[in-house]
Structure 1
Amino acid sequence: MGLVVRNHLGLVMATSAQRMVASDSPQAAEAITVLRGIELAIDTGLVSAVIESDALGVVNQIKSRGPNASDIGIVVDDIVSRFSVLAGRSVDHVSRKANFVAHTLSRMALTIAEDRYWMEDYPPCVEKFIHEDYLD
């Protein structure tokens, strides 16, 4: 999975490429990625967050905030619980082309032996996309 945490000005606060045990469900993988993104945002000390994902089904389930009996319900419940500690929070669906940094980091995660984290930085492989994603 690939994660990008930005502050309210769009500046990169953290990025991460993390290995994930293969999942039969792309929705489950996306939901776990959103959860890890919230955890990384909290760990970086952000008090406000906007979650962006290109997985519309996951975004809709998070926004519903009701009881969730789906196959990813327990992960969505964790997302809502952890997200509630952040002020100024919202969850938005973005197009895949506006999420290229995260996808590049995800591909990087396939090649690493250990999870990687960059605080207030990012790896060179995403440098050219950092500003493009924010502007889209």
Structure 2
Amino acid sequence: MGELDRETIYGLAKGQSLWTKCCSKQETNCKSLRVLRPEQGPHRQDSSSQWQPLPSSVCKINFDSALFMKEQRAGIGVAIQNENGLIMVSSSQQIPLPGTVVEVEALAARKALELALDCGLDRVILEGDCEILMKTLQTTSKSLAQFGKIAEDIRVYASMFQDISFSHVRRNCNSVAHSLARRAILSPHFLVWMENVPPDVEPVFQADLRSLP
């Protein structure tokens, strides 16, 4: 599928669910998914420099940000992949430039979980290359940093998954999300691609796919 049409983008802005669109080609599997509150807190995973095979029915969510200082804007990118590394949904969004780099990363992480919930996913691994943010999310203590309120929002979203873990990865393992964040300067809209990435990010995704063991 390609880029969502204006009607769907409007629906996203109004908070409507991506469930039916996200599951159009995976209806059998998606019907069994449900959003449950986990009995335990999120798991921690250490930094990784290569793809780690995922357990069955677990999706990997990568997020990243990009700064456009001249325009006083920032971009956030999200890529959600299934256990085989194939794209389920990807997104790119341009936002006003926050005060700190970590704030932009936190906003990207929050958007990533919003998107995953809209798709009806309930077992996920959230991966990002901002070590400060990921270490914060791997703890249960409140953060007094400037991005603390956003981190609390992320924890609220995390509680809506049946199973979730937070993993810090190196930049080379986050290239698709980073490319999606950088392309946000091209459009002021929140753009979503179902089971695909935009054409200009496709070479990055294919290179990432070829690197899988």
Q: Same fold (TM over 0.5)?
A: yes
Query: Residue 19 of structure 1 corresponds to which residue in structure 2?
Result: 94
Q: Which has the larger radius of gyration?
A: 2
1:6 aligns with 2:81: yes
Query: Residue 67 of structure 1 corresponds to which residue in structure 2?
Result: 142
Q: Secondary structure at the match of 1:29?
A: helix
Query: Residue 115 of structure 1 corresponds to which residue in structure 2?
Result: 190
Instruction: Output the CA distance in 1 between the equivalents of 2:114 and 2:82.
Output: 14
How does the TM-score come out when normalised to structure 1?
Answer: 0.92
Q: Which runs of 5+ in 2 are unaligned?
A: 1-75
How does the TM-score come out when normalised to structure 2?
Answer: 0.60
Identity of aligned residues (%): 30
Q: For residue 96 of structure 1, what is the amino acid of its counterpart?
A: R
Q: What is the Cα deviation at residue 3 of structure 1?
A: 0.7
Q: For residue 60 of structure 1, what is the amino acid of its counterpart?
A: K
Name the structure, 1 or 2, with higher relative contact order (CA <8 Å, separation 6+). 1
Instruction: Output the CA distance in 2 between the equivalents of 1:127 and 1:20.
Output: 23
Q: Choose from 34, 41, 48 the match for 2:109.
A: 34
Q: Which runs of 5+ in 1 are unaligned?
A: none
Structure-to-structure mapping, 1:43-54, within 5 angstroms: 43-54=118-129
Q: What is the Cα-based RMSD across aligned positions, in Å?
A: 1.5
Asked whether the 8 Å contact 2:93–2:188 carries over to 1, the reply is no
Cα distance change, pair 9–86 in 1 and its aligned pair in 2 (3 A) = farther
Q: Identify, as 1 or 2, the structure richer in helix.
A: 1
Q: What is the Cα deviation at residue 62 of structure 1?
A: 0.5
